[in-house]
């Protein structure tokens, strides 16, 4: 069971190098450190992020709401705030702590746009707040790398079922909120099949997705690689050796058939009218009335 501990954050919002063509963010915010979802491939376990016990302990930034209010009041540019880059803002403990829900209320109050990235249908709890934010701009991206619930449960053991994420996507789309898929990573030798990509795109279309952000591969480095390989030995015996032979100590590990998958993906998205890049936020420009 995951331990929790409260900490005091010094800074909450970080600036994103511009332009951010991947996720369209101006600011990034993490309300927690560590995550409960236990996804076997998560890059946030990497040593460079300095989270010593990523899976065993979640740190809760107890002063986050007061700090967020203070920082938003000082921002001159109302650009999109990203939630969910280093952990999931809707991990199970959010049901009780409600830190994300309270943060969204402050964001709505100050009129900032948001882009939430999650693997949880708990995001629907804050539907009313997201609709309010959407008067300016709100986007919800669900990480979906397989269309199969059984495989998804192996890879992301404590995240919402993939089918539940698709259902949540439909609800958001029906309420006029931009929603789509972060289709990354696509794990080599596990998810890199044309059938998997086809199923994801088709279900995205059925459930109102307006965009899919793809990456046909994964990252692997230091502690992340060690954890992932331990899970491969447990869940997919013999597959670790294929990774070691194909990638060695590479950081970026493209699927062997990435080009073919990309071609299939782009054709399907074109057929369904789904964008293959993030929908970018465009500020509403004020107009000055003329006296003449």
Alpha carbon of 211 to those of 13, 176, 183, 284: distances in Å? Answer: 26, 14, 10, 22
pLDDT at 183: 98
Q: What is the pLDDT of residue 48?
A: 83
Can you say how many angstroms the Cα of residue 204 is from the centroid of all Cα atoms in its chain? 16
Which stretch of 30-39, 246-255, 274-283 has the lowest confidence by average pLDDT? Answer: 274-283
- Which contacts of 247-251 are long-range, i.e. CB under 8 A and separated by 24 or more positions? 247/188, 247/220, 249/225, 250/220, 251/219, 251/220, 251/221
pLDDT of residue 158: 97
Residue 235 has pLDDT above 80, yes or no: yes
Nearest alpha-carbon partner for 135 in 149, 162, 114: 114
- Is residue 201's pLDDT more than 50? yes
Q: What is the mean pLDDT of residues 240-246?
A: 97
**Burial classification of residue 205, based on how many CB atoms lie within 10 Å of its CB (0-12 exposed, 13-18 middle, 19 or more buried):** middle
pLDDT at 170: 98
Supply the mean pLDDT for the chain.
94
Residue 1, pLDDT above cutoff 70: no
**Hey, what's the torsion of the CAs at 125, 129, 134, 136, to 10 degrees?**
-150
Residue 225: burial class (beta carbons within 10 Å; 0-12, 13-18, 19+): buried
For residues 168-180, average pLDDT:
98
Is a pLDDT exceeding 60 seen at residue 56?
Answer: yes
Comparing 114 with 53, the larger pLDDT belongs to 114
Distance CA 135, CA 107 (A): 12
pLDDT in the model for residue 78:
94
pTM of the shown model: 0.94
Share of the chain above pLDDT 70, in %: 97
Confidence band for 285, pLDDT divided at 50, 70 and 90: low
Verify cis geometry, omega within 30 degrees of 0, for the bond prior to 185: yes
Set out the domains of the chain in order of their start, with CATH numbers.
3-272 (3.20.20.70)
Position 266 pLDDT exceeds 70: yes
φ/ψ region of 144 (left if φ > 0, alpha if ψ in -120 to 50, else beta) reads beta
Query: What does the pLDDT read at residue 51?
Result: 83
The pLDDT of residue 291 is above 60:
no
Strand order in the sheet with 57-61: 3-7, 57-61, 32-33
The whole-number average pLDDT for the span 67-74 is 98
CB count in 10 Å sphere of residue 139: 27
For residue 126, pLDDT beyond 90: yes
Give the residue among 28, 27, 90, 101 at the shortest CA–CA distance from 58. 90
């Amino acid at each position: 069971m995951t331990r929790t501990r409260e900490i005091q954050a010094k800074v909450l919002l970080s600036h994103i190098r511009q332009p951010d063509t991947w996720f369209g963010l101006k600011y990034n915010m993490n309300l927690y450190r560590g995550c409960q979802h236990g996804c076997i491939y998560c890059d946030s376990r990497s040593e460079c992020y300095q989270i010593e016990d990523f899976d065993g302990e979640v740190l809760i930034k107890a002063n986050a709401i007061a700090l967020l209010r203070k920082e938003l009041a000082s921002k001159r540019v109302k650009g999109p705030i990203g939630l969910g880059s280093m952990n999931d803002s809707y991990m199970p403990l959010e049901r009780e702590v409600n830190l994300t829900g309270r943060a969204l209320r402050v964001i709505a109050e100050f009129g900032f746009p948001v882009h939430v990235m999650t693997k949880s249908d708990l995001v629907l709890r804050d539907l009313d707040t997201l609709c309010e934010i959407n008067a300016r701009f709100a986007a919800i991206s669900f990480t979906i790398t397989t269309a199969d619930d059984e495989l998804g449960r192996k890879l992301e053991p404590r995240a919402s079922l993939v089918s539940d994420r698709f259902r949540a996507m439909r609800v958001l789309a029906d309420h006029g909120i931009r929603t789509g898929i972060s289709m990354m990573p696509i794990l080599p030798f596990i998810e890199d099949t044309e059938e998997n990509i086809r199923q994801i795109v088709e279900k995205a279309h059925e459930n109102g997705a307006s965009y899919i952000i793809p990456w046909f591969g994964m990252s692997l480095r230091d502690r992340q690689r060690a954890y992932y390989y331990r899970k491969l030995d447990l869940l997919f015996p013999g597959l670790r050796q294929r990774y070691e032979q194909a990638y060695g100590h590479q950081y970026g590990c493209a699927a062997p058939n990435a080009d073919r998958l990309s071609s299939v993906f782009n054709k399907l998205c074109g057929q369904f009218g789904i964008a293959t890049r993030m929908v970018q936020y465009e500020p509403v420009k004020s107009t000055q009335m003329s006296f003449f």
